[in-house]
Amino acid sequence: MAEELVSAEPRLLHGCPLVESAGSYVVHCNRDSYYELCSNLREDGYAMPVGVTGVDYLTHPGRDLPVGIEAERFEVVVELLSLAAHKRIRVRCQVPETDPTIPSLFELWPGTEAHERETYDMFGVVFEGHPDMSRILMPEDWEGHPLRKDYETGEIPVQFKEARR
C-alpha cells in the first residue's frame, strides 16, 4: 500500500481519501459513507476492531483534512486490525454537532458494543442500530457528556484530615 501513496494525486480507498499519518494509514469519511466504508474494510480482512472513540474539536476547529472531507465538531475514530495481513488502519469520520448520530458497527463487529456505548456516554454521539445505547460509565441519571469541550467542570470541596476548620 505504501507505493500507492507516493502519487501526488489524492489516493482513495473505497471512494474515501486515504493518507499516511505518523506511519499509519488513515482513511477519512463523512457520515454518509461511514458504514459502507467499514463494511468494505471488513471484507478486505480487517476482522478486529481495536477501538472506537470520539473527539470533540470545539476548541480546535482548524485541522488538516483531505479534500472532500468537511470538518465537523465531532469525529468518531475507529482503529481496525487485519490479523492475517498484519496491517492496521484508522477510520476518521466527521459527525455534525447539530445531529451527532452515526450508524453502529455492531452488526459488522459485535466487539464494538462497549466502545460505542463509552463514546455515547462521554461525547453524546448516538450510534443508530446499537442494541443497547445506554450509559456505561456514568450513572443513568447523569446529565451531559463529560468529555465534550463545553461540559462545565464542577468542584467538589475536599476536607483534608489534618486541615484546620
Pairing of strands 87-95, 24-30: parallel
Pairing of strands 48-56, 74-82: antiparallel
Average pLDDT over residues 12-41: 96
Task: Record the pTM.
Answer: 0.86
d(CA 16, CA 60): 23
In a domain, 145, yes or no: no
In a domain, 37, yes or no: yes
> What is the domain count for the chain?
1
In a domain, 146, yes or no: no
Of residues 94 and 62, more confidence is placed in: 94
- Please compute, for residue 82, the number of CA atoms within 13 A of its CA located in the half-sphere on the CB side: 16
Give residue-wise pLDDT tens across range 43-81. 999 999 999 999 999 998 888 899 999 999 999 999 999
58 is in which domain, residue-wise?
2-128
Q: What is the CATH number of the domain that holds 61?
A: 3.30.460.80
DSSP 8-state code for residue 8: S
